[in-house]
Chain A
Amino acid sequence: MRKGYFGAFGGRFVPELLVPPLAELEQAVDNILPDEAFEKDMDQVCREFVGRPTPLYLCRNLSADMGFDVFLKREDLAHTGAHKINNTVGQALLARHMGKSCLLAETGAGQHGVATATAAAMLGLDCIVFMGALDVQRQSINVHRMELMGARVEPVESGTRTLKDAINAALRYWIAHQSDTHYCLGSAVGPHPFPLLVRRLQSIIGRESREQMLQQTGSLPDTVVACVGGGSNAIGIFHPFIQDTGVELVGVEAGGRGGPDDHHSSTLSRGTPGVLHGTHTFLLQSIEGQILPSHSVAPGLDYPGVGPEHAFLKDSSRARYEVIHDRQALDAFNLLSRKEGIIPALESAHAVAWVSESRDHIRPGSKVLINLSGRGDKDLDIVREQMAEV
Chain B
Amino acid sequence: MHYDNILTRKIQAAVESGRKALIPFVPAGFPVKDRFWDVILELDAEGADVIEIGVPFSDPVADGPVVEKASIRCLEQGVNLDWIFEGLAEYRDRIRAGLVFMGYFNPFLQYGVDRLAGSCREAGVSGLIIPDLILEEAEPYMEMLNENNLAYIPLVGLNTSLERLQAYAGLCPAFVYVVSVMGITGTKTGSMQVLGAKLRQVQDSFECPVALGFGISSKDQLESIEEHVDAVVFGSALINHLDEGRTPREFMAGW
Residues of A within 8 A of B (CB): 11-17, 19-20, 158-159, 164-165, 168, 171-172, 175-176, 178, 274-278, 283, 285, 287-291
Pairs of residues from A and B, 6 with the lowest C-beta to C-beta distance, nearest first: A289-B110, A289-B107, A289-B106, A176-B183, A17-B157, A15-B62
| Contacts across chains A and B counted by CB atoms under 8 Å | 106
Decide if B109 touches A289 in the complex (CB within 8 Å). Answer: yes
Decide if B159 touches A178 in the complex (CB within 8 Å). Answer: yes
Q: List 11 A-B contacts (CB under 8 A).
A: A13-B132, A14-B61, A15-B157, A159-B58, A171-B61, A176-B182, A176-B187, A178-B182, A288-B107, A289-B106, A289-B110
Of A19, A20, A159, A175, the contact of B59 (CB 8 Å cutoff):
A159
Decide if A14 touches B106 in the complex (CB within 8 Å). Answer: no
With A15-B155, A17-B157, A159-B68 given, can you name 10 additional A-B contacts, CB distance below 8 Å?
A15-B61, A15-B132, A15-B134, A16-B134, A17-B159, A19-B164, A168-B61, A176-B183, A288-B110, A291-B106
Q: B156 contacts which chain A residues (CB < 8 A)?
A: 16
Decide if A13 touches B154 in the complex (CB within 8 Å). Answer: no
Residues of B within 8 A of A (CB): 57-62, 64-65, 68-69, 72, 75, 80-81, 104-111, 131-134, 136-137, 154-161, 164, 179, 182-184, 187
Q: In whole angstroms, how far apart are the Cα atoms of A27 and B30 in the complex?
A: 43
Decide if A16 touches B106 in the complex (CB within 8 Å). Answer: no
Q: A165 contacts which chain B residues (CB < 8 A)?
A: 59
Q: A15-B155, A285-B106 are in contact. Are A158 and B68 (CB under 8 A)?
A: yes
Decide if A275 touches B132 in the complex (CB within 8 Å). Answer: yes
Q: A158 contacts which chain B residues (CB < 8 A)?
A: 65, 68-69
Q: A14 contacts which chain B residues (CB < 8 A)?
A: 61, 132, 134
Decide if B134 touches A19 in the complex (CB within 8 Å). Answer: yes
Of B61, B65, B179, the contact of A16 (CB 8 Å cutoff):
B179
Decide if B160 touches A275 in the complex (CB within 8 Å). Answer: no
Decide if A175 touches B182 in the complex (CB within 8 Å). Answer: yes
Q: What's the least CB distance linking A17 to chain B, in Å?
A: 4
Q: A15-B132, A16-B157 are in contact. Are A290 and B183 (CB under 8 A)?
A: no
Q: In whole angstroms, how far apart are the Cα atoms of A102 and B85 in the complex?
A: 46
Q: In whole angstroms, how far apart are the Cα atoms of A224 and B136 in the complex?
A: 36
Decide if A274 touches B106 in the complex (CB within 8 Å). Answer: yes
Decide if A16 touches B110 in the complex (CB within 8 Å). Answer: no
Q: A20-B159, A159-B58 are in contact. Are A175 and B132 (CB under 8 A)?
A: no
Decide if A291 touches B105 in the complex (CB within 8 Å). Answer: no
Decide if B59 touches A291 in the complex (CB within 8 Å). Answer: yes
Decide if A12 touches B134 in the complex (CB within 8 Å). Answer: yes
